[in-house]
Amino acid sequence: MSDTPLPAPLHDALLSLLGPAGLLTDAGDTDAFCTDWRLLYHGRCAAVLRPANTEECAKAVALCAEHGVPMVPQGGNTSMVGGATPDNSGKAVVISTTRMTRILNIDHADLTMTVEAGVTLKAAQDAAWAEDLMLPLSISSEGSADIGGVLATNAGGNNTVRYGNARELALGLEAVLPDGSVLDLMRKLRKDNTGYALRQLLVGSEGTLGIITTAVIQLQPRPRSRETALCAVADAKSALDLFAAFRKQDPAAIQAFEYMSGTSMALVNSLIESCPLPLSEPAPAYALVELGSPRNDDSLRTLMEEVLGQALEDGLVTDAVLAESETQRQNIWMIREEHAEAQKRAGASVKNDVSVPLAAIPDFIAEATKSCEALIPGIRVAPFGHIGDGNIHFNLVQPEGADAKAFLAQDHAMMDTVTDIVRKFGGSFSAEHGVGQLKTYMMPSWRGGAELETMRKIKAALDPHNLMNPGKIFLQG
């Protein structure tokens, strides 16, 4: 039993609404919902509610609101910023979407998919693929992150460069508001200019305005041909020049363009057994490029070979491997996708998920690397990310053998060092992971004045008692 139990009348009402499978109160069952993926936050909760559909969710939220109980929406619990973890008071309930897992419809005429919030991104992708379609949102956590979570955080990922963020893919939404009322925005329309676009307000709101329960997601035709290459380059500038070379030939063919520093690649190669470097020797940096086309022809291969051939001749690329089969393609992608896991295994790390204009990336990386190395001698600066979108995960891994706690005690100094440089280049302190609880302290200086005030007014209008995911996005008090 939780050490901060729910008031008995609320407990009984929730039990009769959700049944035993939908109401977890034993600490042994709730602990996993109170710890984040990075193991930075260990909160407590009075219970975990697992509604099976929108109606149950709405009734549960209304009951909690009536009793003044704070609520923390949670999907796959892969937040990088502690967004889905309750605080330490033990007063809140976690509302998990993990039982809302129905794929309701795949519409071939409109190229859409209607899904409940708890469908994992991977399950949604697989269902679209089985019908010859593609859900073009791809992130390394897609096996756990779910549709509600990716919309609530406006997730980006590997295919943003071509298809946009989650926001661009969300045509319709249904959400339970903090008082338990249901906001039905389940339209499938690509054109609909009828007042404020409320669905866009919910996308990226990180669970602070309501719980997304169902969504209509835009799909694409499934690519018939794909070409994938891992290239060794001298630095971020060369990677960007290679990106520009592909963009000049055929911007619409670029499905993904990723950057990996030599340091972050070396961590993956040494700490993840299944991910050796598939090139003859290590390089200072790498670019992963994927081209895709709904046509089944050789033109993509020709494009890839022509651009890479020229880049090798010009010295822009020093070595490259092209995937010759789907297995090889997946192996190349696995190397990219294991970056977060490898850094987790390397010890404590401080993540700076930042964006700057493309042209500023090389100077940003050089300057931020120098400043961080001066701040903490021996620090492992391991940037990687979606360079085609101007998005770099400028991650800092503790010096080998250092004390993890002592390293993390300096997290604000490290984050501020990096973001001061980001600010200078006109960037953002969070490109895709959101604010959560980790970065609330940055909001006043980055989004202060009328911008933050407007956000506060919206929050107060929809959630006057601050019950929906308190302590996230906004500093408390």
Positions that interact with ligand FAD (CB under 6 A):
37, 72-80, 83-84, 97, 117, 139-141, 144-146, 148-150, 152-153, 155-157, 206-207, 211-212, 340, 432-433, 436, 469, 472
Q: In angstroms, rounded to a whole number, what is the distance separating the alpha carbons of residues 316 and 126?
A: 36
Distances in Å between the Cα of 359 and the Cα atoms of 105, 240, 317, 381, 390 are: 42, 8, 19, 21, 9
Min dist. Cβ of residue 183 to ligand FAD (A): 12
Pick the closer one to ligand FAD by CB: 292 or 470.
470
End-to-end CA distance of the chain: 30
| Amino acid code (one letter) for 13 | A
Min dist. Cβ of residue 341 to ligand FAD (A): 6
Answer whether 215's CB lies under 8 Å from 151's CB. Answer: yes
Pick the closer one to ligand FAD by CB: 78 or 293.
78
Task: Determine phi and psi for 102, rounding to 5 degrees.
Answer: -90, 135
Answer whether 383's CB lies under 8 Å from 365's CB. Answer: yes
Min dist. Cβ of residue 302 to ligand FAD (A): 30
Q: For residue 144, which of 220, 71, 79 has the smallest C-alpha distance?
A: 79
Q: In angstroms, rounded to a whole number, what is the distance separating the alpha carbons of residues 116 and 173?
A: 10
Min dist. Cβ of residue 12 to ligand FAD (A): 26
Pick the closer one to ligand FAD by CB: 209 or 381.
209
Q: Whose CB is nearest to ligand FAD?
A: 149
Q: In angstroms, rounded to a whole number, what is the distance separating the alpha carbons of residues 240 and 390?
A: 10
Min dist. Cβ of residue 153 to ligand FAD (A): 4
Pick the closer one to ligand FAD by CB: 149 or 390.
149
Pick the closer one to ligand FAD by CB: 153 or 419.
153
Min dist. Cβ of residue 158 to ligand FAD (A): 7
Residue 81: strand, helix, or coil: coil
Min dist. Cβ of residue 192 to ligand FAD (A): 22
Pick the closer one to ligand FAD by CB: 77 or 293.
77
Would you tell me how many other CB atoms lie within 10 Å of the CB of residue 402? 16
Pick the closer one to ligand FAD by CB: 112 or 469.
469
Tokens 């338990």 map to which residue? 180
